[in-house]
Amino acid sequence: MFLCARYVGQQLERNPHMIGEDIEKDSGFEHRPVLDVADVAKLEQAIAAGGTSLAELMERAGNAIADEVQAQLAGPAPVVVLCGSGNNGGDGWVCARALAQAGWPVTLVTPRPAEALTAEPAHSAALKALAAAQTNQLPLTVLVAPNAEQLKLGLNEAHCIVDAILGTGFSGTEVREPYATWIKLANQRHESASSRKPAEDAGAVCLVAADVPSGMSAQTGLAAQPCIHADATVTMIVYKPGLVEPEAARWTGSMKLAPLVNSIGRYSDAL
């Protein structure tokens, strides 16, 4: 179901931090609708049928997240990318590869090895990232199924954390393990760094969410326990209803739209 542009405008008035400044300057993005989560999946399939593959969409999404990380920090700095086992995690694998190719030291955290991932195109994206890292000696380290202490050590080195754990398919009141622990530790690292005095700003840590903060329903905006507290959320193709609810701002931070395709009007018949 498409929700009209007027609805988006109303939400912007109620939640002025919903859209990042860079998006506000481009009036073209204002016409992107709010689309129910179920219809986002239909739209993605229609785009794929039209010639832009799901793998290419994931490539563009991951690069958009990497662009946001680079916009948040002054220069190359350690980044931790938390990847779930699904296609939200696939966006994270692409992001990690893009950052590493740009010279950023990246630690990617995954619950299982790349070859054991079953979701596509996430599986292919993970293998591509590993191959690129090995061939080009990229500064990309993969941490598989770490315990809490191992994850803490990695997060303590990070200047930015990318949340690519759970995507638009998540709903419920509780996040399962190991992701619950990952979210708690990411929030703790983010909050402890954010509480530093101004003179200690060099230790600040940004937290960027891929598509939706993990633990928040993209459909309703309701947050489970725990839920990522992001500084910025890069959402893909269209806005989702939960993301534009006023109460969602405490989880999303500033909203950034990555359009991925030039126009979605030609695919409206698929919805």
Other C-beta atoms lying within 10 Å of the C-beta of residue 25: 8
90 among annotated binding-site residues = yes
Residues present in the chain in total: 271
Report whether 212 contacts 168 (CB < 8 A). Answer: yes
Query: Distance of CA 203 to CAs 7, 98, 194, 209, 229, Å?
Result: 39, 24, 8, 20, 18
Query: Distance of CA 270 to CAs 1, 22, 120, 239, 263, Å?
Result: 11, 30, 22, 17, 14
Burial of 55: CB neighbours in 10 Å, binned 0-12, 13-18, 19+: middle
Report whether 230 contacts 256 (CB < 8 A). Answer: no
50 among annotated binding-site residues = no
Report whether 28 contacts 261 (CB < 8 A). Answer: no
Closest CA to 156 of 119, 208, 192: 192
Other C-beta atoms lying within 10 Å of the C-beta of residue 7: 15
211 among annotated binding-site residues = yes
Structural element, H or E, at residue 80: strand 79-83
Q: What is the dihedral of CA 191, 193, 197, 199, to 10 degrees?
A: -160
179 among annotated binding-site residues = yes
88 among annotated binding-site residues = yes
172 among annotated binding-site residues = no
254 among annotated binding-site residues = no
Annotated binding residues, written as ranges, equal 87-91, 163, 179, 211, 214
Annotated binding residues for (6S)-NADPHX, written as ranges, equal 87-91, 179, 211
Annotated binding residues for K(+), written as ranges, equal 88, 163, 214
